[in-house]
Amino acid sequence: MGPRVQHTGINRLRWIAVLGAIAWLGLSVRLVQIQIFRHEAYSAEALEQYQKRVELKASRGRIVDRRGNSLAVDVPATSFYAHPDQIEDPKGVAAHFASLSGKRTESIERQLRGDKPFVYLARQVVDAAAGGVSYAGVFQIPETRRHYPLGPLAGQLIGHTNIDNSGREGIERAFDDMLREKNGSILGYVDAKGKHVPGRQQRREEPEHGRDLVLTLDVVYQGILEEELQRAIDGSKAQGALGVIIAPRSGEVLAMANLPLFDPNKASRSSPDRRRNRAITDVYEPGSTFKTIAAAAVLEDELISLQDRIFCGWGTLRLANGDTIRDVKPHGDLLFAQVFEKSSNIGTIRLAQRLSRHRFYEHIRNFGFAIRTGIDLPAETPGLLQEVDQWSKRSLATIAIGQEIGVTALQLAMAYGAIANGGVLMAPRIIAGTIGSDGHLEARGGPQPIRRVVSRKTAATLSEVLAGVVENGTGQKARIGGVAVAGKTGTAQRALADGSGYDPNARIASFVGFLPANNPQYVCVIMVENPRENGWGGRVAAPAFRQTMKRIISLPGGLLVEPAAKHPQKEVPVVPDLRGMPQAVARFHAQMRGLPVAFSGSGAVVLSQSPLPGQVGRVERINCTLGDGVARSPWKMQQAGLVGNIPAQGSRGI
């Protein structure tokens, strides 16, 4: 028995040794796997257990006007999401968040009953308290949201961002790289419960805020222009309207309006047509406003004397191709200035026929037509003008009176700006500069002359002729007492979509002018689209120009140099109704009327004011009391409640 027992013990020891070797080999393999092949993964997992990264939110840069008024800012917001498998009351959750997201209750409920592990309930809710209801399976995360404090004011120009705060249109898109933010982070240690350990911060990456952008735009001028364009639309039952105001010597764009308006706070609810900045994207036949370019060409080439008489055919002119051109009223012999005062098609054609086709084409191009202006905005069109070798027998004649050519409102403004400033075409400027980290403005370039298009003598002569159009001719409704205004009316039919001719029921009524005529500070273009009543440029566009510019020059500092002999008639201010408006909008409306305003109390909305609305005459200031309430919009857009909702205050002070 002894040897057998001894042999069994040896076998057991052998098995133990073998098993031990196998276990040691397995442990070694596992150690090699952990320490060599999976080292990085397990190290990261360990780091996650005692380190935590916290995101530091950055803000997209603000967009402000030349007065410092905010046009686009980032505001704190909250997004709500859910894990559907944890939701106990899908119907109740869907009903609550439908009002915050704008989605249908049924749509949210259907998502919550689906098989997705993650569902957004509402994105970027500004009033987080409104969503702060305790539902199992509902969670929230802090975000920022782009907000446009003045709503639809200059909406197409400013543009908008998408849900991820990236610029999609307008200024927001053109300068997205400059405005865009970059979030930072803090990497620190946490205890067993996941709480930060004070003083154990390991690494910090500072957030990079976007740069603030300062526009050349003046929101007060912009608001006045939009109001008066809306009045023109209402008075003529028009489809829409455009307006541009520039400073002719610097090329600065002071206002650029497209009506109907577009509210970038509600971008997803607007059509692409509503969002488009038609002042630079759409082309129109300019009609008689283009006659000024023909006049500039013959004057510059010294093909006419102001004392020469032009025979206007008693109202009809037969062209080389057999077509007949007519004037609204028949005329015989007219002096050069009278041709434009009476807006004679035949007289203008007779003048243009003194030019060769190639020379006229050169003048047109020199004035910047059929060429992009180069403004820092997306989707600008160059306009339409055929090459000379494609002109027909009637092209020179019809182009001279503003047909067979397509221009933008901005191109027209810059061309008249060249006449107003003494003959130099300027590049339009929309960006004044950026605000650095020290809070100071860093200018972005300066006035940019492109080329001289006419001599100072020609520009001065044209200014006198255009002043005569307003004083004695078709532009008389653009007169402003005490200020010499120069300008030209225009009425053009719109081409049919298939290019087969003109739509007899569609037209553009326009007026382009500058003032003071002897020392121009402003150029203003007004275009009214498809007016059904008073559909002539002199009847609907000229009055809109007069009201717009009269209000602007009546503001403090509105007219920097007044005529020596006469002073412009100042508007008599009427105290506006600011009640129910957000503070920023109330301040803006007071500024538009040149009235000082002061705010007291806490809250976001004006609850009361002193003096009360409707008081006529200069007031020391409007005192507004702020409180909590429901803000009302100062605009009432057609069919959308967004434009024109200005309290009735009589005819004075508007």
- Backbone angles phi and psi of 515, in degrees to 5: -160, 160
What's the average model confidence in pLDDT over 141-165? 91
Q: Where residue 622 falls among pLDDT bands split at 50, 70, 90?
A: very high
Q: In the predicted model, is pLDDT for residue 565 greater than 50?
A: no
Q: In the predicted model, is pLDDT for residue 477 greater than 70?
A: yes
Helices 583-592 and 219-236 cross at an angle (nearest 10°) of 80
Between residues 584 and 654, which one has the greater pLDDT? 584
Q: What's the mean per-residue pLDDT of the chain?
A: 84
User: Quick one: the chain helix, strand, coil %, rounded to 5?
Assistant: 35, 25, 40
Between residues 462 and 584, which one has the greater pLDDT? 462
Q: In the predicted model, is pLDDT for residue 201 greater than 80?
A: no
Q: In the predicted model, is pLDDT for residue 389 greater than 70?
A: yes
What's the average model confidence in pLDDT over 353-361? 97
DSSP state of 276: S
Distance CA 383, CA 298 (A): 23
This prediction's pTM: 0.81
Q: What is the pLDDT of residue 648?
A: 25
Between residues 601 and 97, which one has the greater pLDDT? 601
Q: Where residue 636 falls among pLDDT bands split at 50, 70, 90?
A: very low
What's the average model confidence in pLDDT over 545-551? 95
Q: In the predicted model, is pLDDT for residue 222 greater than 60?
A: yes
Per the CB < 8 A criterion, the answer to whether 547 and 652 are in contact is: no
Q: In the predicted model, is pLDDT for residue 279 greater than 80?
A: yes
Name, in order, each residue with C-beta under 8 angstroms of 625's C-beta and a sequence gap of 6 or more: 599, 600, 601, 606, 607, 608, 609
Cα-atom radius of gyration of the chain, to the nearest Å?
A: 34
Q: What is the pLDDT of residue 199?
A: 55
Q: Where residue 120 falls among pLDDT bands split at 50, 70, 90?
A: confident
Beta bridge mates, 346: none
Beta bridge mates, 185: 55, 205
Residue 342 neighbours by CB distance under 10 Å: 18
The fraction of the chain above a pLDDT of 70, given in percent, is 83
* Strands of the 196-205 sheet, one edge to the other: 51-56, 184-190, 196-205
Structure tokens at 614: 């409707």
Structure tokens at 607: 């609850």
> Which contiguous run of DSSP H or E holds residue 101?
helix 90-101
The fraction of the chain above a pLDDT of 90, given in percent, is 54
Q: What is the pLDDT of residue 5?
A: 55
- Backbone angles phi and psi of 29, in degrees to 5: -60, -45
Q: What is the pLDDT of residue 493?
A: 80
Q: In the predicted model, is pLDDT for residue 617 greater than 90?
A: no
Q: What is the pLDDT of residue 635?
A: 41
Q: In the predicted model, is pLDDT for residue 6 greater than 70?
A: no
Q: In the predicted model, is pLDDT for residue 155 greater than 80?
A: yes
Q: Where residue 194 falls among pLDDT bands split at 50, 70, 90?
A: low
Per the CB < 8 A criterion, the answer to whether 226 and 261 are in contact is: yes
Q: What is the pLDDT of residue 438?
A: 73
Chain-centroid distance, C-alpha 462: 32
Between residues 279 and 136, which one has the greater pLDDT? 279
Q: In the predicted model, is pLDDT for residue 585 greater than 90?
A: no
Q: In the predicted model, is pLDDT for residue 37 greater than 80?
A: no
Q: What is the pLDDT of residue 196?
A: 56
- The DSSP-derived string for 422-456 is TSEEE--B-EEEEE-TTS-EEE-----EEEE-S-H
Distance separating the N- and C-terminal Cα atoms of the chain: 125
Q: What is the pLDDT of residue 445?
A: 81
> Which contiguous run of DSSP H or E holds residue 107?
helix 105-112
Between residues 58 and 202, which one has the greater pLDDT? 58
Q: Where residue 295 falls among pLDDT bands split at 50, 70, 90?
A: very high
Q: In the predicted model, is pLDDT for residue 82 greater than 90?
A: no
Per the CB < 8 A criterion, the answer to whether 57 and 183 are in contact is: yes
What's the average model confidence in pLDDT over 226-235? 95
Residue 53 neighbours by CB distance under 10 Å: 13
Q: What is the pLDDT of residue 191?
A: 58
Q: Where residue 109 falls among pLDDT bands split at 50, 70, 90?
A: confident
| Bond from prior residue into 516 cis (ω within 30 degrees of 0) | yes
Per the CB < 8 A criterion, the answer to whether 590 and 613 are in contact is: no
What's the average model confidence in pLDDT over 26-35? 72
- The DSSP-derived string for 107-171 is HHHHHHTSS-S-EEEEEEES-HHHH----TTEEEEEEEEEE-TTTTTTHHHH-EE-TTS-EEEHH
Between residues 322 and 357, which one has the greater pLDDT? 357
What's the average model confidence in pLDDT over 4-29? 74
Please name each of the domains of the chain with its CATH number: 55-215 (3.90.1310.10), 219-263+277-429+450-553 (3.40.710.10), 570-654 (3.30.10.20)
Q: What is the pLDDT of residue 237?
A: 95
What's the average model confidence in pLDDT over 299-304? 96
Structure tokens at 487: 């300008």
Beta bridge mates, 74: 146
- The DSSP-derived string for 176-218 is HHHH--B-EEEEEEE-TTSPEEEEEEEEEE--BPPPEEEES--
Per the CB < 8 A criterion, the answer to whether 447 and 550 are in contact is: no
What's the average model confidence in pLDDT over 515-528? 96
Angle, vertex CA 42, rays to CA 40 and CA 44, nearest 5 = 70
Q: Where residue 560 falls among pLDDT bands split at 50, 70, 90?
A: low
DSSP state of 477: G
Q: What is the pLDDT of residue 637?
A: 30
